[in-house]
Structure 1
Amino acid sequence: MQRITIIGMGLIGGSIGLGLRRWAAANKTGNQPALEVTGFDTDLEQQQYAQKLKAIDRGAWDLSKAVQDADIVVIATPVAAMKETFETIAPNLKQGATVTDVGSTKAEVLQWADAIFPAGVDFVGGHPMAGKTQSIEGADADLFTGATWCVAPSVRASDEAVRNVLGMIAALNAESFFVDPVEHDGFVAGVSHLPFVVSSALMNTVSKNSSWRDMKTLTASGFRDVSRLAAGSPAMHRDILLTNREAVLRWLNEYIATLIDVRDTLTADSDKAAPALTEFFTQARDARAEWSTQTTREGELLQGTGGELTSESMGQQMGRMLLGGLARRKPASRNPRPDRDDRD
């Protein structure tokens, strides 16, 4: 029986536990589950709730002891707590143990792991691209189903350690994606970290305005969708930015340049501004159409955007993706299809 210890019983740690225990129950050897899951969290109430939720087989009261017999250790703490966690568990890990994490940044985390873990302990960085609430109450065994799980092994990680992590990812029904840690941080800075900065900036900008008291009564789904990420954990967002400064700054500069272009366009006369703005919004719509119509090997929409697409608008978006917008140019004798209303 394989022993897995999860450190950090929040949404991700709890969901990993639920998913692994479900897999273990379905893959028994005789009456013996395929694995045992131990959980640890510095918040005792959270750990006890994880046990009540059956996300773990047992809780541990001492972090050092929690990892002594573990074959795989999953670090599901905030990124800022990982270095200290590594230092605490390193002397207590058994030879041949595999350590992995679920942090949002990888380059700095792998540097810590290479410097701290002794020979005979292998680190394989990980990052599941899935989430919703921050709390254990939102834990879900199906959270990772179909999700991309980034894998960034340490240069000295053994093949067996990599197989261990890939096996865990497969048990959670996620899709493994090998990526260089620096490249990973650049990618997620654009598609994950920049969005929560933008969302928070929007929320701060409008809520600090003297008209906010009246203005907020006019908000609807568009504002709700764009501002949703501002409701995330301030500490988590802070730590992500501080461990991925260079990549986030690069994307911020590009984003600011785009906003400046829009501002400059608006200062031009209408004859020049109108076509430029049309092109700006058309490019964005078509890029999102391509993104939202990606499919899995099973033909399911990869981004879970089915709820915002009718069969008719799905055809329009596929046309834009495949034909680069030519599908919008209908012969005059045909009845044009109505455009869809977009949402985030």
Structure 2
Amino acid sequence: MIDLQDIITTKRELLSRATCSLSPINYSAGMAEDQKERYIQYLAEQNQDLRLTSDAMKLVLEDFMAQMKDLKDQVSSMESKHADLENRLSEEHKLRKSAERKIKSLQERLDYAHQERFGDRRQKIKSKAKTGDSDRNKEKDDYDGTDDTLRTDSVGHVQSPEVKEPSGKGRDLSNRPDGYKTTGVSGEVIEHPSDLTKVPGRIIERRMVRVFSFRTFLTEECFEMVHYAEPGKKPRWGYFPSEGHPEVVTRFEGTKATPEFLQAIAYEVYVKNVTFGLLHQWLTDMGMTVSKNTLRNWLKKGKKYLDELVCVLKSIALEKDSIVNCDETWCKVRKYDHYKKCYIWVLVNKARKTAIFFYENGSRGREVLTD
């Protein structure tokens, strides 16, 4: 009601400003007494009607303001519900993205498992039908005293074990090696000696126990680059190694990885046939933050050097007056949802200890050897 009263007051002020400049008019001038009384009665009735109309409008406005308040409450409630729905939708979107990543990783694992499976190699052998058991009572009924009706099917035939005569020749020891290689690792052995001062009693004997550990880890190295300027020359960046540190920046061109790191991921992808998803997960589990596209770009950077290496190896293997052996084989390669036969050519130069496999051209032609 306070808001409604304020609105009415404001409207009255506006109307008063619009009519205040007009000079008042005396409408009863020149009227007789009875005319003035009738005029006053008329004005009183008009005032009564206007008051009733004003009260009715106030009631209508009050109802309208109450409805507006209810609508405002409903709008605020709907806005809060909309905000809650947006938050829930955002959370469900994050969960769906996480589930899609997990599904993609599992699908990559499943695809890799399918690549290693080329069908069921088990041989199905049908067992022979078992002969029916012999009936001892039937044999008795069929026997009439003659040798022709005598049957001994139900009696087990046990063969007497053959006694093997011991051979006078001894075992052939010509294939026995002179010595056996024990388990070991090439390189310097790390020894962990015991502190003899902590032994609680008399020492009888000491010996080393071999333990083999496999350690794979990533290392982040930082090389300090110096921006310097020589007299009369443009400023340059350079690395000036300290004593006991690498002489050059061990970074492969166009990447942030060392050649050893690129060799490791190339071996995982091209030799062990590890998918990029599993390779990325392996590096992430070891604490490295890197994207799959970065790994692909690093391998693409190194591919051009590998292509040049293949050309060099091919020129070495095909030197003049060299003996080269060529042969072909085939393997099953998975393509989409089926397997296809792929031929592989191999070129071997035993003298130079070089072997090159050609599998880009999937046909049986020899263009891969002559190109």
Relative contact order higher in (CA < 8 Å, ≥ 6 apart): 1
Range into which the TM-score falls when normalised by the shorter chain: under 0.3
**Bigger Cα Rg:** 2
